[in-house]
Chains A and B, each alone.
Chain A
Amino acid sequence: MSEVLLEAREVSKRFGGVKALTGVSLTIRRGEIYGLIGPNGAGKTTFFNCLTGLYVPDGGGFVFDGQPLQADAPQKAAVRGIARTFQNIRLFPEMTALENVMVGRHVRTCAGVLGAMLRTRATQLEEARIRRRAEELLYYVGIADRAGDLARNLSYGDQRRLEIARALATEPRLLCLDEPAAGMNGAETEALKGLIDGIRQDGITVLLIEHDMKLVMGLCDRLAVLDYGQKICEDVPAVVQKDKRVIEAYLGEVPEDA
């Protein structure tokens, strides 16, 4: 088993005349927390969308766990073991928190339409297992007490946690979090940090897009910086923080004598 879990090879995506991604290559190792940062509009979410099959890249591709990723349909990425959350939360608003997580189990379960209608013993057992696993996941992310509430009635922070629980329900090997701390207060962010660290310790590799630099630098083993759709840096946090091009991308050009 190679230590590389995901390799992006020269991934490119353009929308009309806008080059959202230009030949982005990066390598994510098993068990690490890998950060993806960059100014707004740098192409981070586009990268996620290509990886999870919502967009089809114009060039390049991904190798996941040694096998090329046929990223032409979202469920394929999910079946291979890639799950994600969204920057703008996309829960099923009119379903309960528990049901949201249960939907995530669809990837790993397969009761037929007929079984669902006839309520066979096997179906009932499977449904009970799904429910139990969903309850465990809600407990894991810390919102077990909200299981029966409609997703839209949860607080913002709890909605973000619920999205993580739903993504974990698909049993991912790579969990992609798109700005999970956005809109969270300090205490919530701190709790989130613990949660992400715990997820990694359970053996799930994490790819993290985040603007909260304290969170990124404190959590990530390595990170890549995107700017205008291009990777300008990839290294451990301490090196990235001092990289001249990264500082320029965030702060504008730094004069020579500064």
Chain B
Amino acid sequence: MDTLLQQLINGIVQGSIYALVALGYTMVYGIMGLINFAHGEVVMIGAMVAISALGALMALGLPMGLAAPLALAAAMLVCMGLGAGLERIAYRPLRNAPRLTPLITAIGMSIILQNLAMMIWSRNYLTFPSLIEKVSFEVAGAHFSNVQALIVVLAGLSMAGLLLLVYRTRLGMAMRATSQNLAVARLMGVDVDRVIAAAFIIGSAMGALAGFMVGAYYEIAHYQMGFMLGLKAFTAAVLGGIGNLAGAMLGGLLLGIIEALGAGYIGDLTGGFLGSHYQDIFAFVVLIGVLMFRPSGLLGEKTGERA
């Protein structure tokens, strides 16, 4: 019983992070039908910038209570710029190209960003400084820390903020209109270029937050960390129904929980033949399952016609 509760808690924490990253995939896909495979690298660069900023700020003697939010802000700003740059340089010129072209470009951008990060931050594992004194709580035999709680709360708040933006503001209205019919939105005077740039920028900011969280949670970062994280978040987005915001959140949480439960029980189920380090297979079993049985995802609708 305590394994179940413990793994549920772990899964929700990991799942909140997946959800944040998945939103970046799903927003861009919803608006322009592109899977931005470089998004995982944006997350990684968020973590890397945060480490550098933390190092610099702490060297200046700033207290952690001040340095951590500043480092997060720096990571988000850099990633927002990166997202906007990717859109402008790599994807906008291909707006009218066949669909495969921007997809391959995305993979290319992912490789370029990984290698840039390797050149800047080396190929070593970097230690992410611990931000707050870890305090552990125990509920019904399961443990959770204040770091975990903070991750879930912050992720929840930023997702609520995103929903407010999308459903309560003019920019959000323009984003929804563009995703439902780009040509007609343009005809109504919506600045589609700006809407698409906004989707990249907002997604990248949330990606930076996720990168910061991953770093703070595992206290480690690496230039390749974005690859697997990105793939899993993409899986989460597909699971929830790609293009659907609520779907990305649901898919992220579900995937985190499935993975955690899988990792918790795989040893028992296989008589010790497979250990918890096989947890990565669950994400991809889920992906294959979704693609076979429900390609539109849990909350996705059948793909409508595009103008």
Contact = CB atoms under 8 A, between A and B. Distances in A.
- Physical interaction between A and B: yes
B171 A104 contact: no
A111 B116 CA distance: 37
Q: Looking at B169, B189, B190, B191, which has the most chain A CB atoms within 10 Å of its CB?
A: B189
Interface string A102-130: 11101111010100110100010011001
A170 B188 contact: yes
Contacts of B187: 52-54, 74-75, 77-78, 84
B190 A103 contact: yes
A52 B186 CA distance: 11
Interface SS, B side: helix
B174 interface: yes
Contact of B177 (A79, A103, A117, A130): A103
A148 interface: no
B198 A92 contact: no
B115 interface: no
B183 to A, nearest CB: 7
Nearest to A108: B189
B185 interface: yes
Contacts of B169: 116-117, 119, 127
B194 interface: yes
Interface residues of B, number: 24
B307 A103 contact: no
B279 interface: no
Given A90-B307, A113-B198, A166-B188, A102 B173 contact: yes
Contact of A103 (B185, B198, B304): B185
Contacts of A73: 186
B76 to A, nearest CB: 13
23 contacts: A53-B187, A75-B189, A78-B187, A78-B189, A79-B189, A90-B181, A90-B183, A92-B185, A94-B176, A95-B176, A95-B177, A99-B173, A104-B188, A104-B189, A106-B174, A106-B189, A107-B189, A109-B170, A111-B170, A116-B170, A117-B165, A119-B169, A170-B189
Closest 5 CB pairs of A and B: A107-B189, A116-B171, A106-B189, A92-B180, A74-B187
Interface of A: 52-54, 73-75, 77-79, 84, 86, 90, 92-95, 99, 102-104, 106-109, 111, 113, 116-117, 119, 123, 126-127, 130, 166, 169-170
